[in-house]
Amino acid sequence: MQLKVGEKLRSTACTTEMIVVRAPGTDVDLRCGGHPVVPGADKDTKNELAADASGGTQTGKRYADDEIGIEILVTKAGQGNLAIGGAPLELKQAKALPSSD
Amino acid sequence: MNIMMLLEMAAEAFGDRVAIGDKTTGMTYSQLADQAGKTAGWLREQNADRLIYVDESAPTLPVALFGSSWAGKPFVPVSYRLQTDRLNTLIQRQAPAVVVGGANVASLINPADGLTILANSEFSNSWSEVTPPSADWSSEPEDVAVLLHTSGTSGDPKIAVLRQRHLVSYVLGSCEFMSAEEDEASLVSVPPYHIAGISAMLTGVYQGRRIVQLPAFEENEWVRLAREQEITHAMVVPTMLARILEVLEDGKGLPALRHLSYGGGRMPLPIIERAMELIPNVNFVNAYGLTETSSSISILGPDDHRDAMASDDPAVRKRLGSVGRPLPSVEITIRDEDGKEVPVGTSGEVWVRGEQVSGEYAKQGSTSSDEGWFQTKDGGFFDEGGFLFVEGRIDDVIVKGGENLSPGEIEDVLLDHPSVREVCVIGLPDVEWGEIVAAVIVPAEGSACDDEELKQWVAKHLRSSRVPARFEYRVELPYNDTGKVLRRVIREELKA
């Protein structure tokens, strides 16, 4: 699917909800819990959580692949993990910054 | 992308925590989200393209800020301290709009077509019975979130356009979701029309740190509130810190305070050194940013402060006067007049790019280059360690006989003199030198200043070219309402 920055998406296999922060210009096969994610408004599609894609997501964490140019912010945690096809996205480790405001 | 998404996350993850106000009676994140929704539902029914906020900080500030974004209308904070004619002109230009102000708003803002003028309490009453719409805010990253008037210390103020993507990027790039401990509270004393007043609401909500608002800054009240509310975090502008320190000479300290950030203008070295002596257990952060960059782009952290204070190496010690290193999410370079990068240690103009950088003004449009670089109009340089030094607005640099002099450097030295309370150094036109150095001084209470003595004092610490040729003494300096000294006004006065 072609992603758009700001787009809301959800997992069909767990409770994960997310928003696209950075999108590649090309089609990607973004999956959560082993199944392609769907638009946030689609609340009906349901799939079984794949055992090999059940690492879980955390609210407020960003998952990314810099080579592909994709970054996803998880707005609601779930049991599945985020991947492009079979390759899991990496948890983006933010450098701890002191508060400036 | 929408700042409402940040609040929704907070309300779902820790909805019962207090978001705004007193630690027991304050408004929770769930209540804030609910009230933002009511505001959105109501605002959509009004004849208004935007919501103008002309009041002091109040709990309705975050409600109106988030509610506007939910409704898809820009939030426009405006200074209630502006001269009445100017304020009215500026507000009429934003019509059709809802105008929310203090109790006196009806006498301050003239009725006009397309303006719905409400006092803060009337505003709350108008949406209190509304049912919040479903979470239907737009995710369009290009939507305008906030329109902010820049401070215009050296020229006419402009309206900076901050889109949803700028503000969300700033929050994601500068802090972590839910990273605050439950006992943390930050004291916000900058006004709503200051970019730090907006960014404090956003990062406070996202981190889950309770926000305590001080409606109008006054140093005794700031200290009292900080002690009473067990404030752990605060942000101040330099003039505020100088006054807070005078109160802290009472020796009672700020027991709960862990973290104090400062920005919004150049901090004089003597003040930060005194602060580190008076409240040594506090982590200090110097933040540099502009309205056009959605707040901070470079920070000098607590360890940097301690390293600089403890160091015998003059180059390291000097870093106490720097703004530290760029945030990982932005790039900063120093360029000459032709736009070419200059070597380390050489002064030039500070250029910045990154997802939080807007550089766009209403009417004028984007001022950034095709590669996304925004010219800050601030002068500065990097040292060998990658620390950024900001030398003030390029327009304020004094060019004397072909040499560039930084007013701040001379101000720091003068401020260290015991008989000087406040100082502003500017350049004045001169036939022989192009410009000469003039110092406008507010003497310390009960002190008399002497031109010759001050000249010798500067000559002892700096090269002779920096010695002011002219001294003027005043009871006070003109500041804008965010605490920036109005050099433009002083320059005009002295030229006359």
Taking only the tens place, the pLDDT of each residue in A46-73 is: 999 999 999 999 999 999 999 999 999 9
Q: Which residues of B touch A8 (CB under 8 A)?
A: 139
Side by side, the strands of the sheet bearing A70-76 are A38-39, A8-10, A17-22, A70-76, A62-65, A90-91
What CA–CA distance (Å, rounded) separates B364 from B322? Answer: 32
Residues B43 and B144 in one domain: yes
Q: State whether A98 and B259 contact (CB < 8 Å).
A: yes
Q: State whether B139 and A8 contact (CB < 8 Å).
A: yes
Q: What is the mean pLDDT of residues B398-418?
A: 88
Assigned domain for A85 exists = yes
Q: State whether B283 and A98 contact (CB < 8 Å).
A: yes
Assigned domain for A64 exists = yes
Total of domains in chain B: 3
Residues B65 and B97 in one domain: yes
| Contact by Cβ (8 Å): A59, A68 | no
Assigned domain for A100 exists = no
Assigned domain for A69 exists = yes
Torsion angle defined by CA atoms of residues B147, B54, B217 and B261, in that order, rounded to the nearest 10 degrees: -20
Residues B173 and B121 in one domain: yes
Residues B116 and B46 in one domain: yes
Assigned domain for B471 exists = yes
Domain hosting A16: range is: 8-91
pLDDT for position B155: 56
Residue B152 is encoded by which pair of tokens? 């215009």
In angstroms, what separates the C-alpha of B281 from chain A's closest C-alpha? 15
- The residues of A whose Cβ lies within 8 A of any Cβ of B are 5-8, 19, 21, 59-62, 73, 75-76, 94-101
The predicted complex's ipTM stands at 0.90
pLDDT classification of A37: cutoffs 50, 70, 90: very high
Last residue of a domain, one of B395, B427, B443: B395
CATH number for the domain spanning B119: value is: 3.40.50.12780
Residues B311 and B451 in one domain: no
**Residue in A closest to B263 by C-alpha:** A100
Residues B171 and B149 in one domain: yes
What percent of chain A stands above pLDDT 70? Answer: 100
Q: In angstroms, what CA-CA distances link B97 with B10, B67, B105, B159, B420?
A: 29, 14, 14, 16, 46
Q: Is the pLDDT of residue B373 over 70?
A: yes
Assigned domain for A20 exists = yes
pLDDT for position B270: 87
pLDDT for position B269: 87
Check if B295 contacts A (Cβ < 8 Å).
yes
Domain hosting B106: range is: 3-216
Total of domains in chain A: 1
Residues B379 and B468 in one domain: no
- The amino acid occupying position B285 is V
Q: Smallest Cα–Cα separation from B189: which of B280, B260, B90, B266? A: B260
Assigned domain for A3 exists = no
Q: What is the mean pLDDT of residues B295-305?
A: 96
pLDDT tens per residue, range B156-165:
668 999 999 9
CATH number for the domain spanning B439: value is: 3.30.300.30
**Residue in B closest to A9 by C-alpha:** B139
Nearest by CB: B200 against A8, A94, A101: A101
Assigned domain for A21 exists = yes
In angstroms, what separates the C-alpha of B194 from chain A's closest C-alpha? 11
Nearest by CB: A6 against B9, B140, B176: B140
| Contact by Cβ (8 Å): A45, A12 | yes
Last residue of a domain, one of B374, B395, B416: B395
- The amino acid occupying position B262 is Y
Residues B16 and B129 in one domain: yes
pLDDT for position B359: 93
Check if B105 contacts A (Cβ < 8 Å).
no
Last residue of a domain, one of B216, B233, B252: B216
- Side-chain-facing half-sphere of B1: CA atoms under 13 Å: 28
In angstroms, what separates the C-alpha of B200 from chain A's closest C-alpha? 5
Interface test with A, best of B176, B209, B260 (most A CBs within 10 A): B176
Assigned domain for A65 exists = yes
Phi/psi region, residue B92 (left: phi>0; alpha: psi -120 to 50; beta: rest), is alpha
Q: Which of residues 166-225 of B touch A (CB under 8 A)?
A: 172, 174-178, 186, 196, 199-200, 203, 206-207, 209
